[in-house]
Amino acid sequence: MSNNNSHSGFAFFSGMVIGAAIGAIAGLLYAPETGEQTRKKVADKTKEMSDELLDQFDDLKENVNRILEDVKKAGSELLEDVKTAGTEVLEDVKKTGASVIEDVKKASKG
């Protein structure tokens, strides 16, 4: 389910960028300006969109890094829980084993 949400987020973002690019190009092509003015507007709009895209990628990178840190933390906590549980089980086995050995010794004497 999580994968589907990230895919739909990417699809939305891609659609937004493509739609903005198409709209900007259409607006520039239909604007009654000289070629030099149009080229300047295209360059400016391209820079603006590039900056916006870089900002979005920076945000995405920060989110991915935050998620990775959360996963690492959860993994470390799980490992500690497993170690603790393993130690407790080992202690229980030792106690039970010692009790069984003691019972066998008593039974063999008795």
Tokens matching residue 60: 């995405």
Cα angle 20-23-26, degrees, rounded to a multiple of 5? 150
Q: Return the pLDDT at 6.
A: 59
Q: Does residue 62 or residue 49 have the better pLDDT?
A: 62
- Which residues does 6 contact at the CB level (< 8 Å), separation at least 6? none
Q: Return the pLDDT at 69.
A: 94
Amino acid at 54: L
| Residue position matching structure tokens 């603006």 | 48
Of 34-38, 52-56, 59-63, the poorest mean pLDDT is in 34-38
Under the banding of pLDDT at 50, 70 and 90, the label for residue 7 is low
Positive or negative: CA dihedral 74, 78, 81, 83: negative
Q: What is the pLDDT of residues 15-38, one digit of tens each?
A: 888 888 888 777 777 777 777 887
Give CA–CA dist 6/3, Å, rounded. 5
Q: Return the pLDDT at 29.
A: 72
Q: Return the pLDDT at 40.
A: 85
